[in-house]
């Protein structure tokens, strides 16, 4: 009974969180499309059969569909949810109707409309993180070494109490949290460092030791560890301007670190088991809800950034795939052949399904189903 209750709570939390993020993504497409004079036929949260919907004054059908794992905006001239052109319909349009068709708009407007979805996700993350820093403050700890664990990577490198870590992996260090982030992204990989010991700069290299630890939700993860402790964490309150700047900076840092982790999976430096599917994301959603509103905010920001980044990957079927086609069209002076685009979309669909199956398989292993 308790297991069923936990599942329902996680599922409901996931649906609410992902629906907000997907709505913002699709609203980005919708808003810029309207600015460019495109008629929007449907705005759906979810896929599949419609559960509830209504028409607005511009005859756009706003609806909630049965499978709440995404969404779409169907524009005038689209044949379906994937924004592929309806060639027969476009050929029969009157001169007046052609003004409202997405696929007949200038290339720069189509690119702007497609880019607006991921851009909306990054804007949402910046807003959320700015609010977080404004009301809760940013957790900060000076990059000063507290205790050094015997036999640890830091101990072997000669770190001592009160050393100040100036640089790590080529990055300037201002907060201890940066060290944790760098180390977690580079498990088992050598890292160059610069430390300040009583005014003297010391350089060297060390390799974090792989350990099994737990995240803020209590989930077991494998991560790198230097073997040093820091001082007490303090939450530094910020004014509005500083919070907004911090929101931009944190969004950028999360984006860069996420892309780096993906690159490590591709090159084999990081286990692909870290790729999570909807089952684990659902679990994390429930755990975030249990932790409180501040944790929900942070989780939504990270999830929104991930959705924005994923959609920018140059894979047909995703926004990044459409942008890739537009870039090729701009370079060639004419679009790719229809057959080439069709095969590209088929490849993209197969690739996305493969990734979803693989991520789900990882989730099932994580929950000890296998």
DSSP 100: T
C-alpha distance from residue 9 to each of 13, 90, 282, 288 (Å)? 6, 46, 9, 11
Give the closest residue to 163 by CA, choosing from 142, 178, 184, 180: 142
Give the closest residue to 286 by CA, choosing from 63, 2, 72: 2
Dihedral sign from CA coordinates of 369, 265, 302, 62: negative
Q: Indicate the length of the chain as a whole number.
A: 370
In angstroms, rounded to a whole number, what is the distance separating the alpha carbons of residues 118 and 130? 18
Residues taking part in catalysis: 26
C-alpha distance from residue 320 to each of 5, 29, 130, 313, 361 (Å)? 38, 13, 27, 5, 25
C-alpha distance from residue 212 to each of 5, 144, 219, 223, 355 (Å)? 29, 24, 10, 6, 26
Checking phi first, is residue 160 left (phi over 0); if not, alpha (psi -120 to 50) or beta?
A: beta
Share of the chain residues as helix, strand and coil, in percent rounded to the nearest 5: 55, 20, 25
Contacts of 130 (CB under 8 A, 6+ apart): 240, 243, 244, 246, 247
């Amino acid at each position: 009974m308790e297991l069923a209750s936990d599942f329902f709570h996680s599922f409901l939390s996931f649906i609410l969180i992902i629906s907000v993020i997907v709505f913002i993504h699709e609203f980005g497409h919708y808003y810029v499309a309207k600015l460019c004079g495109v008629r929007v036929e449907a705005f759906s949260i979810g896929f599949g059969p419609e559960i509830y919907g209504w028409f607005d004054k511009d005859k756009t059908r706003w609806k909630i569909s049965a499978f709440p794992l995404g969404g779409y905006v169907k524009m005038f001239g689209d044949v379906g949810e994937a924004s592929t052109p309806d060639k027969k319909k476009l050929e029969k349009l009157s001169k007046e109707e052609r003004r409202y068709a997405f696929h007949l708009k200038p290339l720069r407007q189509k690119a702007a409309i497609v880019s607006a979805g991921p851009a909306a996700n990054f804007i949402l993350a910046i807003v959320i993180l700015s609010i977080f820093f404004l009301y809760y403050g940013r957790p900060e700890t000076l990059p000063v070494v507290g205790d050094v664990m015997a036999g640890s990577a830091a101990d072997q490198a000669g770190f001592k109490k009160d050393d100040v870590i100036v640089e790590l992996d080529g990055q300037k260090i201002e907060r201890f949290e940066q060290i944790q982030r760098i180390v977690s992204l580079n498990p088992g990989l050598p890292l160059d460092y610069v430390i300040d010991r009583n005014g003297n700069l010391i350089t060297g290299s060390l390799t974090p030791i792989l350990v099994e630890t737990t995240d803020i939700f209590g989930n077991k993860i494998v991560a790198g560890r230097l073997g040093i402790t820091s001082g007490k964490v303090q939450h530094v309150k910020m004014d509005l301007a500083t919070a907004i700047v911090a929101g931009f900076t944190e969004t950028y840092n999360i984006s860069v670190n996420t892309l780096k982790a993906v690159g490590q999976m591709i090159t084999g430096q990081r286990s692909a088991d870290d790729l999570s599917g909807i089952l684990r994301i659902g679990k994390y959603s429930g755990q975030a809800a249990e932790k409180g509103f501040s944790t929900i905010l942070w989780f939504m920001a990270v999830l929104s950034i991930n959705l924005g980044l994923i959609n920018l990957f140059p894979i047909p079927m995703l926004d990044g795939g459409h942008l890739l086609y537009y870039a090729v069209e701009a370079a060639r002076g004419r679009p790719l052949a229809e057959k080439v685009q069709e095969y590209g979309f088929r490849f993209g669909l197969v690739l996305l399904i493969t990734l979803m199956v693989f991520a789900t398989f990882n989730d099932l292993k994580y929950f000890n189903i296998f």
